[in-house]
Amino acid sequence: MRCVALASLALTIAGSAYADDLKLQSLDGMVTFSGSFGVTGVRAKEFVYQGKAKLSQLNWKSDYISTVTGAVTVALPKEFYLSATASVGFNGNGHMADFDWLQPGKPWSDRSLHPDTRLDHYFVGGVEIGRMLISHDGTDIGLGAGFKYTDIQWSAWGGSYVYSFNGFRDARGHFDPDEKGISYRQAWPVPYLGLNLSHHEGNWTFSSALQGGLAIDAYDIDDHWVRSLRFYDYFETTPTVSIASSINYTMWNNASLYFSGSFDRIFRVRGDTKMVNTNNGNERWFYNGAGGDYRSATVSFGLKGTF
């Protein structure tokens, strides 16, 4: 796959908020290690289409994901650098809302709400290589190229429903709270180009980064456990954008406080679906019948130390 070939090129991470960050720098200043704990919020949607008509939409979200991040940066000759990061998330407040349309374009006919939506896994990681191009009067400008991989999965348990069986929204009830209804996984491989800016004024450092890329060979997996059906959606290529900024204040020679925020967006994309009956293995394809998107927003603050 193309993402395997590009995975050796680069990546940086989206999202950890309210973070305490400790940074350890080697004595010669060539290698920098960092580790952090933070909180992340994620939103994702999945869609089912028939032609241009939307038949189904599932809104998945998690807030306050506890996120552990590790990173290393190596300074290379001639102002080049190489960095790698990895983040793993746990827990968080999850929720899923599932809407269906028996008549496309009309009000929804069926809805289920799942407050007990659990984060099964969350991982973001990758590498980036870049070079400082301009360094003048406290201002640094650099360019980077990287590869970013995001992988997230939820499972929705129990919940309530409003269905249209014999009439419009005539059936209401609750699912067994110990029953797992739907699991949903998204995987987004993203090669990107990035612009990095920073400016120093006394003890203050202002930094920002802009990344633009393409999600390629992305996919999702949707398990409907009660019906013994698994849906594989293979997405087309879609644009992505990531914006981050931070304010850093140096309190002592080797310690500083910072405040930062970031936003990541993978734009809505269509794709083909393979439906598999997990009981007998029978397959069926629905071309251009799927869709998905992803976004996350982050605010973080913490303490950095250089040694």
Which residue ranges form the domains of the chain, and what is each CATH number? 2-305 (2.40.128.90)
Angle at 262 between CA 305 and CA 32, to 5 degrees: 30
218, with CB counted inside 10 A (0-12, 13-18, 19+), is buried
Angle at 217 between CA 211 and CA 220, to 5 degrees: 100
Cα–Cα distance for residue pair 121/219, rounded to 1 Å: 16
CA-nearest of 151, 148, 124, 130 to 240 is: 148
Residue 110 half-sphere exposure toward CB, CA atoms < 13 A = 14
Output the tens digit of pLDDT for each of the chain's 307 residues. Answer: 444 343 443 333 333 333 334 444 444 557 777 778 889 999 999 999 999 999 999 999 999 999 888 888 888 998 999 999 888 899 999 999 999 999 988 999 999 999 999 999 999 999 999 999 998 889 999 999 999 999 999 999 999 999 999 999 999 999 999 999 999 999 999 999 999 999 999 999 898 999 999 999 999 999 999 999 999 999 999 999 999 898 888 887 766 777 877 889 999 999 999 999 999 999 999 999 999 999 998 777 766 555 5
Tokens 């827990």 label which residue?
91
CA-nearest of 178, 186, 169, 154 to 112 is: 169
